[in-house]
């Protein structure tokens, strides 16, 4: 299991281009890690990891973060709004 979602937010009026990345990866202890990475486009940004018990819990957590970010006008890298 290794799935990543890339989100972008652009506001030319404010000269702002930001990214948000959500990635699910399996860990060595039969759990799943949700990695959230964010910052200015073109830079490394910051990252935070959450260790979750299973794939279902991880998918729910990722869906909750996607909902939050879409409310703040982030869109998938392809430009479409996704409801994972």
Residues near 63 by beta carbon (within 8 Å), at least 6 away in sequence: 84
Over residues 34-56, the pLDDT tens digits come to 999 999 999 989 999 999 988 89
Higher pLDDT, 84 or 7: 7
pTM above 0.85, yes or no: no
Beta-strand runs (E) in 12-60? 16-26, 32-40, 46-52
Phi-psi region of 59 (alpha: psi -120 to 50; beta: other; left: phi over 0): alpha
Separation CA 75–CA 84 (nearest Å): 12
Q: With 60 as the cut, is the pLDDT of residue 83 above it?
A: no
Question: For residue 13, what is the DSSP state?
Answer: G
């Amino acid at each position: 299991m290794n799935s990543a979602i890339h989100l972008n937010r652009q506001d030319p009026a404010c000269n702002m281009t930001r990214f948000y990345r959500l990635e699910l990866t399996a860990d060595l202890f039969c759990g799943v890690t949700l990695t959230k990475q964010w910052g200015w486009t073109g830079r490394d940004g910051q990252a935070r990891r959450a260790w979750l018990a299973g794939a279902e819990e991880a998918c729910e957590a990722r869906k909750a973060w996607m909902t939050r970010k879409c409310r703040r006008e982030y869109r998938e890298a392809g430009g479409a709004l996704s409801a994972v």
